[in-house]
Amino acid sequence: MDSPFGLLAELTYRCPLACAYCSNPVNLAGYSGELTTDEWRRVLAEARDLGVLQCHLSGGEPLLRRDLVDLVAHAHGLGLYTNLVTSAFGLSRPRAEQLRAAGLDHVQISVQADEPAVSDRIAGTPSFRRKIEAMGVVKELGWPLTVNVVLHRHNIDRVAGVLGLAEEVGADRVELANTQYYGWAWRNRDALLPSRAQLAAAEVVVRAARERLRDRMDVIYVLPDYYSRYPKPCMGGWASRQLTVTPNGDVLPCPAAQSLPLPRASVREESLERIWAGSPVMSAFRGTDWMPEPCRSCARRELDFGGCRCQAFLLTGDAARTDPVCHLSPDHHLVARAVEAANAASPGGDRSLIPRPHRVRRVER
């Protein structure tokens, strides 16, 4: 077992957007009892003592926490590298200047498309203009800027425009991440999964952009699992390198693991060190001893660790099954069936999306 180097601090699941691909839990009401400022300070200190180097402040929308500046300052004082993962809805210049003074190291801003009407429709609220303005503020204040775009059936055909937008705003890095099907995205999978033709066209554009922009901007392109021959090595191995703390203090090996039927572990009841070292939720799928066949005898078992446990559970009802994305899985037909349906549907998608509910109420801390 290694010490984790990354902490995803999900400060709140409240968000002004209503993205249908959101991976946050569907049962948002179960996370209303958010950790207080003092509780988050303790979590950050315990994370540093555990070996964490990077702290990603996320949500939901972390800017809805009134204590965000204070938490950034505390993390900075502990020596953690801090990254704000935000929709930028609410990132005004005064707030940005406060965060800069507090020691925030990096800003990652999501955008849903390269054109206002399309982006706002996918986000479920007018937000595109604010995002572009916030990107300008980020660059003016000297932060590194990552532009993140979650790709799916409704925007993957606009990859060229998205790359042009990232170049125009001076992004240092752009993440083109095909949707991972958890939370609300799982509910909307059939309407979001792109076709093979869409993926092929997007890859041509991305390859050309990588070559053209190689000295100016990192272009990260994450393929959708459903079209891969082998599954991704989820989080570098279960409870190996990363951990997530949810708004109510639950500790997970990855952001989507709240869907699994595993015993709960909370920073309100135990220290982060004890949870990381010995809690059932962290030890359930650590290493390779838990693996069934065909993973147990597979030469790739130390490369992809059996794939994603959350994906296996959502598709089969058993978190210990081989990830059905793998072509060797006895359940691979479940993924093949979904891919077949996606390629039979009309290019623009012929199913309506279920939007994530808006939750924007601020909580005093």
Residues of each annotated binding site: 15, 19, 22
For residue 362, pLDDT over 50 is answered with no
C-alpha distances in Å from residue 37, one per residue of 7, 88, 264, 320: 17, 21, 22, 36
Q: Give pLDDT tens digits for 210-257.
A: 999 999 999 999 888 999 999 988 888 999 999 999 999 999 999 999
What are the structural domain ranges in the chain? 6-227
Provide the whole-model pTM.
0.93
| Separation between Cα atoms, residue 115 and residue 121, nearest integer Å | 10
Annotated binding site for [4Fe-4S] cluster: 15, 19, 22
Weakest-pLDDT range from 108-112, 114-118, 142-146, 359-363: 359-363
What is the secondary structure of 35-75 as a DSSP string?
Answer: PPHHHHHHHHHHHHHHT--EEEEESS-GGGBTTHHHHHHHH
E-only strand ranges, the chain:
6-10, 54-58, 81-86, 106-110, 145-151, 173-178, 218-222, 242-245, 251-252
Q: How many CA atoms lie within 13 A of 52 on its CB side?
A: 29
Q: Considering only 25-34, 208-217, 303-312, 341-350, which range has the smallest mean pLDDT?
A: 341-350
Task: Report the alpha-carbon distance of residue 135 to residue 146 in Å, rounded.
Answer: 9
Antiparallel, parallel or unpaired: β 251-252 and 218-222 = unpaired
CA nearest neighbour of 154 among 356, 357, 352, 358? 352
Tell me how far CA of residue 254 lies from CA of 84, 298, 309, in angstroms: 18, 24, 10
- The CATH class, in words, for 6-227 is alpha beta
Q: What dihedral do alpha carbons 12, 109, 83, 213 form, nearest 10°?
A: 160
Q: Is the pLDDT of residue 17 over 70?
A: yes
Indicate the pLDDT class of residue 365, thresholds 50, 70 and 90: very low
Q: In the numeric block, which tokens belong to residue 249? A: 């203090």
Chain-centre distance for alpha carbon 268: 24
pLDDT at position 280, please? 95
The secondary structure of residue 127, as a DSSP letter, is -
Rounded Cα distance between 324 and 80, Å, is 37
Residue with tokens 């003092």: 38
Quote the CA–CA distance of 320 and 329 in Å, as a whole number.
Answer: 12
CB distance 217 to 166 below 8 Å: yes
How far apart, in whole angstroms, are the C-alpha atoms of residue 288 and residue 306? 8
Cα separation of the two ends of the chain? 36
pLDDT digits (tens, 9 = 90+) for 174-215: 999 999 999 999 999 999 999 999 999 999 999 999 999 999
Write out pLDDT tens, residues 50-65: 999 999 999 999 999 9
- Tell me: the pLDDT tens digits for 135-174? 999 999 999 999 999 999 999 999 999 999 999 999 999 9
- Mean pLDDT for the chain overall: 93
State the pLDDT at residue 1: 54
Query: Which among 181, 152, 205 is positioned nearest to 349, based on CA atoms?
Result: 152
| Phi then psi dihedrals of residue 173, to 5 deg | -155, 140
Provide the 8-state DSSP code for 91: -
178 vs 280: CA distance, rounded Å? 31
Reply yes or no: is the peptide bond before residue 116 cis, omega within 30 of 0.
no
Rounded mean pLDDT, 92-106: 98
